């Protein structure tokens, strides 16, 4: 199946050039001229990879990336811009992007980045299927004291108390609970939960706030308190029983 790519650039010549390069490689390409049109397209169409310009009138590239992360977290993103800076690069990488390229990037650079991003997306989806495949996925866990963890609705219930989880918290808890006792490295969890790869050094810092928020919610349920366990220097596991 051909990959769907969205090109977002307010410059007509740059937009058409990118579109032509990608179509010649056999990709299905849609192009739009502004951030709002990009957001509307992502919300209504499957997009495997998006190439987005940073500086655009109205909604800029970083704002588009923020929405894409929430609406279509599996979409790989390349930020392509003539307005590069260290600050912008750091901000973009923190928002979860696959690559950051400066204009004028050569066709070879663009295609190499696109193919690498699509390859990573394929590996990520395969990893998610192995961990939470439809045949083995469990949406509802009922614990010994009657606590119900409903991962499809991202909520935990015990008697009259209900706690709601964010999408990232729900993904993290699902991965750990479905693989009770298995240690996941920090890097594995960032890839499976957040959808992007990072270094083993940076991964713990990325995970720490998420794990802290999840633990805070779990602590109010006796059957779940202290169940997400840190493995020093390695990662986390869910300790049942």
What percent of the chain has pLDDT above 90?
Answer: 52
| 104-127 confidence digits (pLDDT tens) | 889 999 999 999 889 877 766 665
* Average pLDDT of every residue of the chain: 86
Cβ atoms of residues 91 and 69 within 8 Å: no
**Exposed / middle / buried, residue 81 (Cβ in 10 Å: 0-12, 13-18, 19+):** buried
Backbone angles phi, psi at 188, to 5 degrees: -60, -45
| pLDDT score of 15 | 95
What is the average pLDDT across 140-157? 92
Annotation: CATH topology of 4-132: Rossmann fold (3.40.50)
Copy the structure tokens of residue 222. Answer: 């006796």
Copy the structure tokens of residue 146. Answer: 């009657």
| pLDDT score of 122 | 74
Distances (CA, A) of 105 to 64, 68, 101, 111, 184: 21, 23, 7, 10, 37
**Is it the case that residue 156 has pLDDT exceeding 90?**
yes
- Sequence ranges of the domains in the chain: 4-132, 164-238
- Please state which architecture CATH assigns to domain 164-238: Orthogonal Bundle (1.10)
Confidence of residue 135 (pLDDT cuts 50, 70, 90): very low
| pLDDT score of 14 | 93
| pLDDT score of 126 | 60
Higher-confidence position of 1 and 193: 193
The DSSP H or E segment spanning 38 is helix 35-44
Backbone angles phi, psi at 26, to 5 degrees: 95, 10
Higher-confidence position of 67 and 127: 67
Cβ atoms of residues 72 and 47 within 8 Å: yes
How far apart, in whole angstroms, are the C-alpha atoms of residue 207 and residue 222?
23
Closest among 170, 175, 209 to 189, alpha carbons compared? 175
**Is it the case that residue 43 has pLDDT exceeding 60?**
yes
Report the C-alpha dihedral over residues 211, 215, 217, 221, rounded to 10 degrees. 150
How far apart, in whole angstroms, are the C-alpha atoms of residue 31 and residue 172?
34
DSSP class of residue 84 equals -
Confidence of residue 73 (pLDDT cuts 50, 70, 90): confident
What percent of the chain has pLDDT above 70?
Answer: 87
Confidence of residue 136 (pLDDT cuts 50, 70, 90): very low
**Is it the case that residue 173 has pLDDT exceeding 70?**
yes
Predicted TM-score (pTM) of this structure: 0.55
Cβ atoms of residues 39 and 67 within 8 Å: yes
Higher-confidence position of 92 and 135: 92
What is the average pLDDT across 162-167? 92
Neighbours of 77 (CB within 10 A): 26
Of 84-88, 116-120, 146-150, 198-202, minimum mean pLDDT range: 84-88
- Helix/strand number for the chain, H first, E second: 8, 12
What is the average pLDDT across 203-213? 92
| pLDDT score of 134 | 43
| 46-60 confidence digits (pLDDT tens) | 899 999 999 899 999
The DSSP code sequence of 180-221 is TT--EEHHHHIIIIIS----TTTHHHHHHHHHHHHHHHHTTS
**Is it the case that residue 22 has pLDDT exceeding 80?**
yes
């Amino acid at each position: 199946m051909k990959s769907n790519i969205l090109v977002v650039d307010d410059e007509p010549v740059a937009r058409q050039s990118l579109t032509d390069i990608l179509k010649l490689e056999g990709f299905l390409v849609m192009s739009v001229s502004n951030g709002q049109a990009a957001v509307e397209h992502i919300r209504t169409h499957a997009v495997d990879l998006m190439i987005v310009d940073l500086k655009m009138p109205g909604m800029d590239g970083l704002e588009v990336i923020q929405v894409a992360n929430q609406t279509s977290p599996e979409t790989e993103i390349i930020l392509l811009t003539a307005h590069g800076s260290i600050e912008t690069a750091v901000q973009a990488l923190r928002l979860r992007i696959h690559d950051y390229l400066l204009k004028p990037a050569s066709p070879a650079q663009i295609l190499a980045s696109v193919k690498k991003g699509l390859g990573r997306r394929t590996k990520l989806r395969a990893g998610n299927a192995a961990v939470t495949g439809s045949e083995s996925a469990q949406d509802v866990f009922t614990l010994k004291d009657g606590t119900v963890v409903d991962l499809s609705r991202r909520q935990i219930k015990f008697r009259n108390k209900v706690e709601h989880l964010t999408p990232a918290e729900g993904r993290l808890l699902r991965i750990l609970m479905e693989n009770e006792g298995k240690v996941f490295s920090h890097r594995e969890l960032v890839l499976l939960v957040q959808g992007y790869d990072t270094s083993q050094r940076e991964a713990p810092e990325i995970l720490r706030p998420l794990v802290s928020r999840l633990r805070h919610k779990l602590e109010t349920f006796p059957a779940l308190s202290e169940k997400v366990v840190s493995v020093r220097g390695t990662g986390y596991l869910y300790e049942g029983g």
